[in-house]
Structure 1
Amino acid sequence: MTRQLRPVGVEFVETAPVRLVFAREVSAAPDAVFHALAEDVPGWADWFGAVTLARSFDEGARREIRLRGGTRFLETVLLAKEAEVYAYRVDETNAPGPRALVEEWRLTAAGSGTRVRWTFAADGPAAFRLGLTLARAGLGRAFRDAVASLEGRLAAR
Structure 2
Amino acid sequence: MHANPDRLLHSLKRRADGTHEPISSAQAIEEIAERLAAVVDRHGPNSVALYIGTSNIAFPTMGGMAGALLTALGSTMFFSAATIDQPGQPVADALHGIWLGGRHGFDDVDAYLYAGTNPVISKQFLAENPAKRLARAVERGAKIIVIDPRRTETARR
Q: Radius of gyration: which is bigger?
A: 2
- The answer to whether TM tops 0.5 is no
Greater per-residue strand proportion: 1
Q: TM-score, length-normalised on structure 1?
A: 0.22
Q: TM-score, length-normalised on structure 2?
A: 0.22
Greater per-residue helix proportion: 2
Indicate the structure whose relative CO is greater, using CA pairs within 8 Å and at least 6 residues apart: 1
